[in-house]
Amino acid sequence: MLTGTDQKKRKSQLTPRREPVQARARERTRQILDATGRLLEEVGLDDLTTILIAKEIGVSVGSLYHYFPNKHAILYAMGEQWLAGMTAALEELGQGELEEMSLETFTGELLERLLAVYREQRGLLPLVQAMWGIPELHELDARHDELVIRHLTKMFLRLGFSCPPNEMNRVARLTLETFHAVFLVIVNQEGVRSQRTKDDLQQMLLTILVRNRDEARPGGLDDVEAP
């Protein structure tokens, strides 16, 4: 377990060298993140280096280090960018009249909005692998799960779910793990194949949610009231 000092040191290693305040700096940061996404798709995580990233955008490695201290800091910024997109999509869905929605409409809206975020993020699969496999990025993986589960449980309540809190959390996590795994397949598909996979995913989620919505006290569980 990391000490407070170790956590601060790790955080400093992932913090951008400078906050992109001016338009030129923001544009350069965007170029770095976009180039990193392209390179993740082309060469993969293991072969990604700051030298390749600098070459891709036509600057020296020294210039790149003015913005990010290392490769992991760039990946961390990409992860935060993806989480910001997820947050915006979930909040937008939450602003709708969920109380009046059928589960079919809800799952369709949920998948449509979140899939757009997944498709927009270049190099998503290796980025997700990095968030899971690189200790410095584990925080992003945990934040992603907490973010989605928190929003889903709030929306489930508005949709009329009556199951206990820890069951609501379980269903939210199952929903997250299901769409997350299938989205990573869909983003690499096109046309009819992509749409059919998405339709199958919606049917899976509907089966999960319909089964659990009205179970106020699921049978066979002795801890349903636990936090």
CA dihedral 147, 151, 153, 156 (to 10 degrees): -150
pLDDT tens by residue, 64-85: 999 999 999 999 999 999 999 9
Alpha helices in 100-190 (DSSP H): 103-120, 124-133, 138-158, 165-186
Q: Can you give the residue ranges of every domain in the chain?
A: 71-213
Per-residue model confidence (pLDDT) at position 45: 93
Largest CA distance in the chain: 63
Domain 71-213 class? mainly alpha
Q: Supply the pLDDT for residue 224.
A: 47
Q: Which of 104, 106, 112 is nearest to 94 (CA)?
A: 106
Cα 203 from Cα 33, distance rounded (Å):
35
**Of the candidates 83, 82, 109, the residue with the CA atom closest to the CA atom of residue 97:** 109
What are the structure tokens assigned to 69, written together?
């201290």
Going residue by residue through the chain, which has 227 residues, state the pLDDT in tens, using 9 for 90 and above.
445 545 555 555 566 655 655 778 889 999 999 999 999 999 999 999 999 999 999 999 999 999 999 999 999 999 999 999 999 999 999 999 999 999 999 999 999 999 999 999 999 999 999 999 999 899 999 999 999 999 999 999 999 999 888 899 999 999 999 999 999 999 999 999 999 999 999 999 999 999 999 876 666 565 544 43
Residue 163 and residue 217: Cα distance in Å, rounded?
A: 6
- Exposure of 52 in the CB half-sphere (CA atoms within 13 A): 19
Contact indicator for 94, 151 with CB cutoff of 8 Å: yes
Q: Tell me the C-alpha to C-alpha distance, in Å, between residue 37 and each of 24, 209, 218.
A: 20, 34, 44
- pTM score: 0.85
Q: What pLDDT is recorded for position 20?
A: 56
What φ, ψ does residue 217 adopt, rounded to 5°?
-145, 90
DSSP state letter for 207: H
Whose tokens are 């940061």? That residue is 29
Q: Is 198 exposed, middle or buried (0-12, 13-18, 19+ CB in 10 A)?
A: buried
Q: What is the pLDDT of residue 94?
A: 96
What are the tens digits of pLDDT across the range 176-207? 999 999 999 999 999 999 999 999 999 999 99
